[in-house]
Structure 1
Amino acid sequence: MTAVGDDARPADEQRSESATLDERGLRSLVSTVYLPAAAYGIGQGAAAPVMVLTALDLGASPALAGLTVAVVGLGQVVGDAFSGQIVGRFGERLSVIGASTLAAIGVVLCLVAPSVVVLLGGILAVGLANAVWGLARMNYLSTVVPFAWRARAMSLFGGAMRLGFFVGPILGAGVIWIVGVRGGFLVQLVAVICAGALMARLRDPAGSRAGTSTVGLRAVVRTHRRLLCTLGMGSLLLGVARSARDAVLPLWSDHLGLSPSTASMIFGIAAAIDVACAYPAGHLMDRFGRTSIAVPSILILALAYLLVPLTGSLGWFAAVAMVMGVGNGFGNGVIMTVGADVAPPTGRAEFLASWRLTHDAGFLAGPLSIAGLAAIAPLVVSIAGAGVLSATGAVLLGRYVPRYTSGDRAHSGS
């Protein structure tokens, strides 16, 4: 289905559509983009539950063990600062190979870590690799996928990662039962190697700027500071809205006295809804514009956060968790799609790195802000704060997505 006319799109987008994907469309990317994304997500999902447990086994305090999860986000934020230069200089293929190698080294460190310091070093290395790996694939899709399919391509990529994250803990549980708590890292190691091998088969797109001089992050921020301070702030708050649920739902389930197994089941159902919403969200964005999904997705999350303190039973809590799954699922691919829309033809990878930095910073800030507020105020206040921040993000996205994205300009006829 054709979403917009050629005359409504920037020249670089029209050029990228002329000779990118063949007649198979997005199906041609299954084995080289979407399956590797799912595999990489499986690795992340398998490792997520065992990072804290491994730290505890190594003698870490509960507070220090809890911070291990945040170290992954910290690595991604730090990695965003230089991933643009790496992808711009070496191209997508070599960048993926290098990032997969770094991730494998980090996972091996986690597997053999004799101390918490070594464990944290391995986790940080994985976070750094995630930044480069994610940017390389985002830059590739933004270059080769025709504009009319862009949102579907990005949403499917995000959905594939989420599917892997959903499957990963299930596979990890089986391996943990056989080899012990670090079995989750073993699953991650195999997944990272498989994902890197699959994506290494993909050639850099025609017209790639690999090997040319790159633009520094500071120069990118200076050139695009207005966009990053407006639309980028909306991206950051969407990151907060999507990641805060990882802290809100466990805290409130504990407040309600639910068992860990019951809470885990609720998480699993919400994750399944999350995955199911990915492709429909991309289709709607391609047909009706980016705002049609960007704003409703974060508004749904805002409403869900405000409803959480009103739930006093398992049924109502599960219902709100499902609503969060819908909001988060429809948010899959939004930031990648908008970033691809606003990225300049020159310095694309470097710009996308700074764009990812806004969202990843929000992902890091979300759980940390909830934990910080919960430490100094009633839990209800911290959850309500997540709702207010999400609503603020909706206002910013509603105002600036149509202003900056070619997709919404085309659909509005401006």
Structure 2
Amino acid sequence: MAEEFRLRSVAVAVYGPAALFGLAEGAMLPVVALSAIDRGATTPVAALIGALLGIGALATNIPAGILATRVGERKSMLLAAAVSAVGLVLCLVNIGTGPGALVLYGAGVLLIGAASAVYSLARQSYLTESVPLHMRARALSTLGGTMRVGLFLGPFAGAAVMQFWGQSGAYYLSLAAVLAAGVVVYRVPDLETTAEHRAAAAAITTWGMIKRKWRVYATLGVGILLLSGIRQTRQTVVPLWAAHLGLSPTASSLIYGFAGAIDALVFYPAGKVMDRHGRRWVAVPSAFVLGASFVLMPLTHGAVLLAVVAMVMGFGNGVGSGIVMTLGADVSPAVGRPTHIGVWNELADVGSGLGPLLLAGVTALAGLGFGIVVSGLVGFAAAGALWTWIPRPSRGLRPAAVRGPPP
């Protein structure tokens, strides 16, 4: 019955919109910098505008927890779809070149980043509340996997559409996907809850949650920060090392695509392992394999070996699909879960921001190869932290009873 419940009640409500949001993001990401340059941006300014996606998410994680607590997960997802649509419309408005055009476009990108944080938190909270505990890791790893599939297919779909409508076609595709996700979310039921539960959750402030869970954030949260750092950096090192080897952009893209395909294919078995044997059996190997693939990358001197290492990297990242969400759910309180997830996601996003900065800093001082190796050491540190601080089910994991959508 638990399997039937998950497939029928949660797949449509969460996985469908997650894939659509991933498709929307994947379609627009390759053209963000190009669109900024078309509006008159220099290369550094275009990079800054691209970074607004992450900045928007960082600024919105904690407010997203407050929003989901007050209005509920479903309404938060609907609002995220609406804000994302507004952001995409702003990206489509082209008033020429110059500061005004860049400000308008940057505002659109910033709104999309903020909306992604709200939607990510709301879907994670919704799924955690809806799914039986013994299937939590499978449910959340599948959530991460469907988002990866969307991100993987998005650039290809965007490229096809741009053949007919030019660069704007990527944004039109993203807008259609976001609106479709909103329609799906609109048709799903709200989570059942009581007035007492809502009042108790609303009374929990972010600072109160931090004081209550500070030991978790200072230990396991650090492991999540480190893991998120190396996972984000992996998106940069393959193209950088391919360019260092003198490979063509086409070869670099193919290698990146092969790694992405492996990444998108291995999420569900990892979830089953986590549910049956514990979170360590996936979290620690995922971080270790990522670290090892980084350390091995500077030893590659051609396309074939680089492709092999990149696919190992994709495997390491793919088997860890959903691990950040799963661990965040495992240590979340019964009351105030969205507030906790907001803080948790903030830690992960801080790591995602610091990882590429570490690579850039060490590369500037000692060269790209050394920078990649140092980034790999972050993966080993993450593996050690996760091994040490992931709660053992017998004494540390006592998740609250889940609420579910009405029948």
TM-score (norm 1): 0.90
CA distance in 1, matches of 2:179, 2:186: 10
Instruction: Write the mapping of 1:5-44 to structure 2, written as runs, cut at 5 A.
Output: 23-44=4-25
Contact 2:27/2:155 (8 A) holds in 1: yes
Cα deviation digits, residues 124-153 of structure 1 (max 9, x gap):
111111111011110011111001100000
Q: Against the structure 1 CA distance between its residues 311 and 127, is the aligned structure 2 distance closer, same or farther, given a 3 Å change threshold? A: same
* Offset, 1:113: 4.2
Residue in structure 2 matching 1:157, options 137, 140, 143: 143
Residue equivalent to 1:15: none
Alignment partner of 1:262 is 2:251: yes
* Offset, 1:24: 3.9
Alignment partner of 1:399 is 2:385: no
* Offset, 1:59: 1.5
Task: Report which stretch shifted further, 205-214 or 352-361.
Answer: 205-214
Residue in structure 1 matching 2:354, options 365, 368, 380: 365
Residue equivalent to 1:284: 273
Task: Report which stretch shifted further, 293-302 or 376-385.
Answer: 376-385
CA distance in 1, matches of 2:278, 2:79: 35
Alignment partner of 1:120 is 2:106: yes
Amino acid at match of 2:218: C
Alignment partner of 1:343 is 2:332: yes
Residue equivalent to 2:404: none
CA distance in 1, matches of 2:306, 2:208: 46
Amino acid at match of 1:137: R
Instruction: Write the mapping of 1:11-410 to structure 2, written as runs, cut at 5 A.
Output: 23-114=4-95, 115-207=101-193, 209-210=197-198, 213-403=202-392
* Offset, 1:214: 4.3
- Give the number of equivalent residue pairs: 390
* Offset, 1:331: 1.2
Contact 1:291/1:402 (8 A) holds in 2: no
CA distance in 2, matches of 1:21, 1:349: 24
Task: Report which stretch shifted further, 72-81 or 59-68.
Answer: 59-68
CA distance in 2, matches of 1:119, 1:334: 34
Contact 2:294/2:372 (8 A) holds in 1: yes
CA distance in 2, matches of 1:230, 1:271: 30
Contact 2:226/2:378 (8 A) holds in 1: yes
Shift >6 Å, 4+ stretches: none
CA distance in 2, matches of 1:322, 1:386: 17
CA distance in 2, matches of 1:355, 1:406: 23
Q: Against the structure 1 CA distance between its residues 408 and 258, is the aligned structure 2 distance closer, same or farther, given a 3 Å change threshold? A: farther
Q: What's the % identity of the aligned pairs?
A: 41
Amino acid at match of 1:45: G
Amino acid at match of 1:91: G
Cα deviation digits, residues 78-99 of structure 1 (max 9, x gap):
1112111000000011111111
Cα deviation digits, residues 293-325 of structure 1 (max 9, x gap):
000001000000000100001110000000010
* Offset, 1:196: 1.4
CA distance in 1, matches of 2:226, 2:134: 27
CA distance in 2, matches of 1:86, 1:121: 21
Cα deviation digits, residues 50-79 of structure 1 (max 9, x gap):
001101111111122123332111111111
* Offset, 1:408: 7.6
Task: Report which stretch shifted further, 365-374 or 183-192.
Answer: 365-374
* Offset, 1:402: 3.0
DSSP-derived class of the 2:72 partner: helix
Amino acid at match of 1:152: R
Amino acid at match of 2:331: V
Cα deviation digits, residues 2-58 of structure 1 (max 9, x gap):
xxxxxxxxxxxxxxxxxx968443343222211111111000000110001101111
Cα deviation digits, residues 203-256 of structure 1 (max 9, x gap):
222226457624222221122111101100100111011110111111101001
Cα RMSD for the two superposed structures: 1.8
CA distance in 2, matches of 1:314, 1:38: 31
DSSP-derived class of the 2:54 partner: helix
Contact 2:15/2:143 (8 A) holds in 1: yes
Residue equivalent to 2:98: none
CA distance in 1, matches of 2:256, 2:333: 38
CA distance in 1, matches of 2:235, 2:395: 31
Gaps of 5+ in 2: 96-100, 399-407
Contact 1:300/1:327 (8 A) holds in 2: yes
Amino acid at match of 1:29: V
TM-score (norm 2): 0.92
